[in-house]
Structure 1
Amino acid sequence: MATMIVYPETGQFRQAITDVTRNACHNKQLPVFSFIGTVKLHGTNAAIGYRQGSGHWCQSRNRVITPGEDNTGFAQSIDPLADEFFTVHVLPHCSTIREHYDRGDRIVIFGEWCGGDIQENVAICGLKTMFVIFKVKIVNQLPKAKASVHDPEQKYPRTFWVDPTEWADVKWHERAIYNIYEFPIYTIEINFNQPECSQNTLTAITEQVERQCPVGAHFQRIGLGEGVVWTEWAETTGNLTFKVKG
Structure 2
Amino acid sequence: MQEQPPGPELTGYPLPAGIKLDQTKEIASHSTLFPKITGRIDELIDNFTYKFGAEDPIIKLTGTVKLHGTHADIVIESNNTIRIQSRNRLSLNMEHDNYNVAASLLPLRKEILELRDRVKDRWQERNVFENMDGNQPIILAGEWIGPGIQKKVAIASLPKRCFVLLAISVNGEWQDDEDYAEIHNEKVGIYNISRGGFYKEVLDVESPKSLEACKEKLLAHTIDVERECPFAKSFGISGVGEGIVWKAHYPLSQDPRFWLKTKGPEHRITRTDKLKKAELNKDGAERTRTFAEAALTEMRLQQAWDYLGEMGINRDKSGTQSFIKWLINDVEVEENKAIVDLSIDRATLKKAVGVIGKTWYFEKLGKA
1:186 alignment partner AA: Y
2:121 alignment partner AA: S
Partner of 2:47: 19
Q: Which moved more, 1:3-12 or 1:178-187?
A: 3-12
2:95 alignment partner AA: G
Q: Are residues 1:236 and 2:252 paired? A: yes
1:133 pairs with one of 130, 154, 165: 165
Partner of 1:114: 145
Q: Residue 37 of structure 1 contacts residue 228 of structure 1 at CA under 8 Å; is this kept in 2?
A: yes
Partner of 1:35: 61
1:68 pairs with one of 78, 95, 100: 95
Partner of 1:160: 173
CA distance in structure 1 between the aligned counterparts of 2:60 and 2:252, rounded to whole angstroms: 11
* TM value normalised by structure 2: 0.56
CA distance in structure 1 between the aligned counterparts of 2:194 and 2:217, rounded to whole angstroms: 21
Partner of 2:232: 216
Q: Which of the pair has more CA radius of gyration?
A: 2
CA distance in structure 1 between the aligned counterparts of 2:217 and 2:85, rounded to whole angstroms: 35
The answer to which structure has the higher strand fraction is 1
1:185 pairs with one of 185, 195, 198: 198
The answer to which structure has the higher helix fraction is 2
Partner of 1:154: none
CA distance in structure 2 between the aligned counterparts of 1:113 and 1:40, rounded to whole angstroms: 12
SS of match in other structure, 1:178:
strand
How far did residue 186 of structure 1 move?
0.6
CA distance in structure 1 between the aligned counterparts of 2:250 and 2:226, rounded to whole angstroms: 28
How far did residue 100 of structure 1 move?
3.0
SS of match in other structure, 1:117:
coil
CA distance in structure 1 between the aligned counterparts of 2:250 and 2:175, rounded to whole angstroms: 12
1:171 alignment partner AA: H
CA distance in structure 1 between the aligned counterparts of 2:194 and 2:56, rounded to whole angstroms: 29
Q: Are residues 1:57 and 2:52 paired? A: no
Q: Residue 97 of structure 1 contacts residue 107 of structure 1 at CA under 8 Å; is this kept in 2?
A: no
How far did residue 30 of structure 1 move?
4.9
Render the CA deviation track for 1:205-232: whole Å, top value 9, x for unaligned.
1111111001111111111000011001
Q: Are residues 1:5 and 2:32 paired? A: yes
Render the CA deviation track for 1:26-53: whole Å, top value 9, x for unaligned.
xx35520211110000001100101122
* TM value normalised by structure 1: 0.83
In the alignment, structure 2 segments of 5+ residues that lack a partner are 1-29, 125-130, 265-368
Partner of 2:290: none
Distance change in 2, residues 1:14/1:70 (3 Å): same
SS of match in other structure, 2:72:
strand
Distance change in 2, residues 1:58/1:225 (3 Å): same
Q: Residue 122 of structure 2 contacts residue 180 of structure 2 at CA under 8 Å; is this kept in 1?
A: no
Q: Are residues 1:44 and 2:76 paired? A: no
Render the CA deviation track for 1:101-139: whole Å, top value 9, x for unaligned.
7x2421111001111110000001131111100101135
- Which structure carries more relative contact order (alpha carbon 8 Å, separation 6+)? 1
1:220 alignment partner AA: G
CA distance in structure 2 between the aligned counterparts of 1:138 and 1:119, rounded to whole angstroms: 30
Task: Calculate percent identity across the aligned residue pairs.
Answer: 30
In the alignment, structure 1 segments of 5+ residues that lack a partner are 140-158
CA distance in structure 1 between the aligned counterparts of 2:175 and 2:244, rounded to whole angstroms: 20
SS of match in other structure, 2:88:
coil
